[in-house]
Structure 1
C-alpha cells in the first residue's frame, strides 16, 4: 500500500455472514473496515468515518445499493463498488452508468475483489490529494482574492484558471468591460511555470502599423524589441478585437513561427512566448465583419474563458462590496461604512454596466464620503463625491482622486506595486503609467 495510513472500507450488506467474511478478508489485508446491514445506516456512518471506498450489496431491505449510489455526492463521496449474488450484465451496466466504480458478483474471488478495491482506494486518495493541492494553490496564489466570489460561475472560473495555468496553450479571455480580463490573464501567468519571466501586456487598440515592428521587433543594431525582452514569458494581447488589420498579419506570423525579424535585418530572432488575449467583442461577429482575421482567432482560442458580468452574479454583491469597502477604508485609515439594508437595495437595483470595476469605484466614492461623515451608496452610485474639497474641473477632480487613492495604496502595501495594483483593480503596467502621469514620488510616500 503506497500510503502509510491504511485504506478504509465501509461494507454495506444485509447478510451477516457475508459482512463477517468481508471484514475478515479486509482486516487480513491490512485495511480498516467497518460494516453496516442497511444502506440508510451507511449514510449515517459516512458522517462519522471517511472511508476510501464503499462496498455495497445491491439488493437489501429498504434502500438498495443502486439507490444508495444515487444518494451520494459524486464530487465528495468515495467510490462505490457494488456486489451481488443476483447480478447480471444489465444491472452491471446500469450501475456503471449511474457512477459505480465497479461491479462484482457473489461468490467473489478474494484476490480480484482486493485488486478492485485497492484501485478504487488509490483513485480516491489521489482525488482527495488533488483537492487539497488546489486548496493550497488557491491560498498561495491569492486566486480567491483576485477572483473574489462564491457564486457557482466564479467558483468554476477559479478552477478553470488554475487548470489552464499549468498549460502553455493559448487562452482567449472573453468578458464585458470591467469584468477583470487582465486580472485573469495575470493570474494565468503568475501561476504558470513562466511566472519568473516578463508579463507583457499590449493594448492592441493603441498599436499602429507604421511603428509596430520597430517597437515590438526592435531595430537592427539598436535596442531589442519588446517581444525579445519578454521572451520566456507571456504576451497578453488586450482588446485584440481592436487590433489594426495590418498589425494582425504581423502578429499572426509571430504566433505561428515564434520568431521576429528586427527592422533592417533579414536574420530571425527566436522568441518563446505564451499567448493570452482578451476582448469584450463578439469574436465571431468581428470575423464575419472582416475586423478580425479568422486565422488569427484560430491561433488565439485554443481555450476560451468566459467571464460572467456582475449582473449575473448578484449574490456576490455583498461580499464584493464589503471587501472593497474594507480595502479602501484601510488605505484611508478610517473605519469602513457598514452595509445597511437600504445600501444592498441600491446595489441590487443597479445594472452594473461597468461590472466589478464600477463596483470598486462606487465603494471608493462611498468611503471618501464616509470620511466627511456622510454619504450613501445611492449617492455613490450617482457619482456624488460631496461638495467639499472637490476641484473645479472634472480633469482636476479625477487626477486628485486618483493621486490620493494610488498614494494610499502604495503606502498601505509598503511599496509592493503588484499588491497595490491588485487592491486598486488595475494592472501593474497601468499603475506605473498613472504614477508617471500624476507625478507621484513613490519613495516620498513610504
Structure 2
C-alpha cells in the first residue's frame, strides 16, 4: 500500500453495530473509510468519494446488495465485495457471475476479509493504472508534437524535462500562451515516480477565496476535497500570478505543512504532492506589483523552465507545419498538402502570438481547405473574410479593423488588459469601452 495514497473503502451496512465494527477494522488497518446505512445512497455518494473498493451487506431495507451490484458500471466503478449472514452457495455463485469481486459470510474472519479487500483494491488500482498508461502515451505524443524540433532551445528543454521528471523538486514553467506549458507539466508527471497517482490541474485565475477551502479541503460532514483525492500525485498550479492573494496564503500553507484542515474538522489530514506551476507573465514583476506572494514563489521556483516562443525557433517551422499537416490529414482522411516556398514564406513572416497552439490551428484550417480542393498557408493565416464580407461604409470598416487589432493585442498579451491597452496606445478605460462597443468576447479569444 502506498504511504502517500492509503487504500480507501466505502462500507454499506444497515446494522449500526456491524457497520461500526467494519469501520474500526479498516481504520485500524490504515484505510480511509466512509460508511453508509443504505445502498440507494451509494450512487450519489460516489460523485464525492470514489473508493478503491466497496464492501456491501446483501440484505438491507430498500436496495439490496445484489441490486447495488447490478446498478454499478463495472468499467467505471470500484469492485464490490458482498458480505452476508444469510449467504449460501447459489447466492455466492450468482453474485460472482453478476460481477462481484468476492463474497464473504458473517461472522467474518478479519484477516481473511482484509486480504480479500486489499486484493480487490490493488486490482482496481492496477486497472486504473493501465488506463492512465494509455492516456499517458497519448499525452506523450502531444508532448512530442510540442517539443518537436532541432533548435538548441527546444533540445535543451527536452533534456531538462527528462532530467527533472524523476525528481520531486518544484518546477515553475514560464512561457507565452500556446507554448506548451500544460503538456510539459503532464510530461513531468507522466515520466516521474508519481505517474500512477492523480494529476490535479488548478486554474488559479478561477479560484475564489469564499469556496476554496470547502472545494479543495473538503468538509467534516463527509464532502471530500479535491486536494485529498489527488494526494500522492502532482499539483499543477496554472496561471499562478492570477491567483487571489487569500488563496495564495492557503496554498502556501498546504505546500509548507503538507496537510489540510477540512472545513469544520478539529484535526488535520496529511497530503503529499509534487508541485508544478506555470505563468505566462513575469513572476518577479508580479511580486513587485504585490499580485504574487514572494514566499509562495520561493516554494514554487526551485527550478524554472522557460519554454521558447515559436518566433524564436523559426528553423523548426517547416518541420512542425509538416507534422501537423500530416496529423490533420489523417484525421480528415485527405492527402497531406505539400508546403510550397510561398507557404514557407508566409509562415516565416508571421509573428506567431499563439505559438505552437496557433500553428496547429493554422495547419488544421489548411487541411480543411485542401478537402475542398484549394487553400494555402497564407490564406489559413488570414481571417476567414471573403469579398462579400467587406464592410460597405467607412464606419463599419474602421470598426472591423479595430475589432481585429484589439483581438490580436488581447491574444498577444494573454488577456492582460493593462499591457494590451499600453500596446495599443490607449487608456484602460477606453479599451474596456471599445471591447463592449465592438462586442468582443475576451474569454473566447484566449
Normalising by the residue count of structure 2, what TM-score does the alignment of the two structures yield? 0.54
- Match runs of 1:10-409 below 5 Å: 142=141, 144-384=144-384
Residue aligned with 1:276, SS: strand
Give the distance between the partners of 2:326 and 2:282, measured in 1 at CA. 35
User: Which consecutive unaligned segments of at least 5 residues does structure 1 have?
Assistant: 1-137, 389-446
Q: Distance in 2 between matches of 1:386 and 1:332?
A: 24
Return the offset for 1:221: 1.8
Alpha-carbon distance change, 375 to 225 in structure 1, aligned in 2, over 3 angstroms? same
Aligned to 1:26: none
How many pairs are equivalent? 251
Give yes or no for contact 2:234–2:274 (8 Å, CA) kept in 1: yes
Do 1:362 and 1:383's aligned partners in 2 also have CA atoms closer than 8 Å? no
Deviation at 1:219, TM superposition (A): 1.1
Q: CA deviation at 1:386?
A: 7.5
Deviation at 1:383, TM superposition (A): 2.9
Whole-Å separation in 2 of the counterparts to 1:144 and 1:355:
15
1:426-437 matched pairs, under 5 angstroms? none
Distance 1:386 1:165, change over 3 A: farther
1:179, 1:309 within 8 Å by CA — same for their partners in 2? yes
CA distance in 1, matches of 2:387, 2:169: 51
Task: Give RMSD over aligned pairs.
Answer: 2.0
Alignment partner of 2:148: what SS?
coil
Aligned-partner Cα distance in 1 for 2:211–2:279: 23
C-alpha deviation, 1:144, in angstroms: 3.8
Distance in 2 (alpha carbons) for counterparts of 1:336 and 1:141:
23
> In 2, are the aligned partners of 1:365 and 1:385 still within 8 Å (CA)?
no
Q: Is the CA contact (8 Å cut-off) linking 2:146 and 2:356 kept in structure 1? A: no
- Taking a change above 3 Å as real, the CA distance of residues 203 and 265 of structure 1, as seen in their structure-2 partners, is same
Q: List runs of 5+ in structure 2 lacking aligned partners.
A: 1-136, 389-446
Q: What is the CA distance between 1:147 and its match in structure 2?
A: 1.4
Three-state SS of the structure 1 residue aligned to 2:235 is strand
Partner SS for 2:329: helix
User: Residue by residue, what CA displacement relative to the aligned partner does 1:177-218 show, whole Å, maximum 9, x if unpaired?
Assistant: 110000000000000000011110000000000011111111
Is the contact made by 1:204 and 1:237 (CA closer than 8 Å) also made in structure 2? yes
Checking the alignment, whether the CA contact within 8 Å between 1:217 and 1:261 is kept in structure 2 is yes
Distance 1:332 1:264, change over 3 A: same
